[in-house]
C-alpha cells in the first residue's frame, strides 16, 4: 500500500515538474497576449529557433556557454524587432483571426530559417544537469525525481516571480497593462506602442530560449520541439490566455493529469494517450469554463 502510494506520488510529482516545462512555453504566449491581445502561434517555432541558434553558436562556432546564450537572446530581440516592424505594424488594424494566421506564417518562416541555417539533424544539448534521479531525494524520500525536472521547476518559478513583479510594480509593467487593455487609448496618452511591442516580443523570445534549453536538454534539439510546444495551447486554455499564474497552474494540471492518466489508464488503451489527453481535457474546460481558470471573462458585443 505504501509502495503504491509512493509510486503515485512519484508519478504525480514527475508530472507536475514536467508540467512546468509546458508552462515555460505557455508563458511566452501569455506575455504577448497580455500586451497585444495577439495569439502568437509561432511561439513553438520561436522555442525551436532560439535553442537551435544557441546550440549552433556553441557547437559550430565554439562560443562559450554564457556568451552563446547572450548571443541567442540578442538574436531573439532582433526577431522581435523584425516581427514588430514587418508583421505586426502592417496588421495593426486587422482582425485577430488575420493576425493569428499571420503568426502561423511567421512560425513557418522561423522554422525554415532555423533549419536552413543550422541543419535538420538532432543536436544534443548538455546543460550540465543530468536527466536522472537526484540521489539525495531518492535516499531520503524514496521518490525518484529527475534533476532536470527540478531545475525546470526552479527556473519557471524564478521567471514567474520576475515577470509578475515586472508587470505589477514597474512603470513598464503599467504601460504593458494599459496597452493590453486598450491599445488606442494607451497610445493617445503617450505610451510608446512600438517600444512596448518590441519589449514584449523580445521578452517572449528570451522566455522561448529558456524553455527551449529545458526541452532540448531532455529530448534533444530537433523539429519535434515545435509539436511539443503545441501542447502549450491546452495549457493556456485551462489557465486562461491572459494570466501568468494561469500558465503555471495550467501547465501543472496538464503535466500531472497527462502522466497520471498515462500510467493508470493508458495501458488499457495501448498507451501513448499523452498525445491527445491534454487536448480533450482542454475541450472539457472549454465547455464549462471557456475563459480558463484565471482568464478574464470574454465578452463579445454585436
Q: State the residues that interact with other proteins by CB under 8 A.
A: 39, 41, 86-87, 90-91, 94, 96-102, 104-113, 115-116, 119-120, 227, 230, 233-234, 237, 269-273, 275-276, 279-280, 282-283, 286-287, 290, 300, 302
Residue 275 CB, shortest distance to other proteins, in Å, is 5
Contact 241, 33 (CB under 8 A): yes
84: left (phi over 0), alpha (psi -120 to 50) or beta: alpha
Residue 260 CB, shortest distance to other proteins, in Å, is 18
* Nearer Cβ to other proteins (120/174): 120
- Is 269 in a helix, a strand, or coil? helix
* Nearer Cβ to other proteins (4/97): 97
* Nearer Cβ to other proteins (132/276): 276
What are 240's three cell numbers? Answer: 486562461
* Nearer Cβ to other proteins (73/101): 101
Residue 74 CB, shortest distance to other proteins, in Å, is 21
In whole angstroms, how far apart are CA 52 and each of 65, 100, 120, 158?
13, 24, 10, 23
* Nearer Cβ to other proteins (192/275): 275
Residues in the chain: 302
Contact 21, 227 (CB under 8 A): no
Residue 72 CB, shortest distance to other proteins, in Å, is 19
Residue 66 CB, shortest distance to other proteins, in Å, is 29
| Rounded Cα–Cα distance for residues 252 and 34 (Å) | 21
In whole angstroms, how far apart are CA 103 and each of 5, 44, 106?
45, 11, 5
Amino acid at each position: 500500500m505504501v509502495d503504491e502510494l509512493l509510486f503515485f506520488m512519484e508519478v504525480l510529482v514527475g508530472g507536475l515538474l514536467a508540467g512546468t516545462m509546458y508552462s515555460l512555453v505557455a508563458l511566452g504566449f501569455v506575455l504577448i497576449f497580455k500586451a497585444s491581445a495577439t495569439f502568437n502561434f509561432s511561439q513553438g517555432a520561436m522555442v525551436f529557433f532560439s535553442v537551435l541558434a544557441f546550440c549552433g553558436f556553441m557547437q559550430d562556432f565554439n562560443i562559450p556557454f554564457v556568451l552563446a546564450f547572450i548571443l541567442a537572446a540578442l538574436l531573439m530581440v532582433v526577431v522581435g524587432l523584425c516581427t514588430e516592424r514587418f508583421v505586426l505594424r502592417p496588421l495593426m488594424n486587422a482582425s485577430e483571426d488575420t493576425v493569428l494566421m499571420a503568426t502561423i506564417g511567421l512560425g513557418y518562416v522561423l522554422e525554415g530559417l532555423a533549419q536552413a541555417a543550422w541543419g535538420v539533424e538532432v543536436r544534443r544539448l548538455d546543460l550540465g544537469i543530468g536527466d536522472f534521479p537526484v540521489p539525495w531525494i531518492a535516499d531520503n524520500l524514496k521518490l525518484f525525481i529527475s534533476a532536470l525536472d527540478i531545475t525546470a521547476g526552479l527556473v519557471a518559478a524564478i521567471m514567474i516571480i520576475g515577470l509578475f513583479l515586472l508587470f505589477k510594480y514597474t512603470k513598464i509593467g503599467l504601460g504593458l497593462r494599459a496597452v493590453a487593455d486598450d491599445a488606442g487609448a494607451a497610445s493617445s496618452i503617450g505610451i510608446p506602442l512600438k517600444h512596448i511591442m518590441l519589449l514584449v516580443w523580445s521578452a517572449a523570445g528570451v522566455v522561448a530560449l529558456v524553455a527551449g534549453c529545458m526541452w532540448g536538454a531532455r529530448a534533444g534539439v530537433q523539429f519535434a520541439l515545435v509539436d511539443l510546444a503545441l501542447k502549450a495551447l491546452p495549457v493556456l486554455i485551462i489557465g486562461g490566455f491572459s494570466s501568468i499564474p494561469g500558465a503555471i497552474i495550467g501547465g501543472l494540471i496538464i503535466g500531472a493529469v497527462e502522466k497520471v492518466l498515462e500510467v493508470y489508464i493508458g495501458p488499457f488503451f495501448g498507451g501513448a494517450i499523452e498525445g491527445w489527453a491534454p487536448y480533450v481535457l482542454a475541450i472539457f474546460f472549454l465547455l464549462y469554463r471557456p475563459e480558463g481558470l484565471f482568464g478574464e471573462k470574454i465578452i463579445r458585443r454585436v
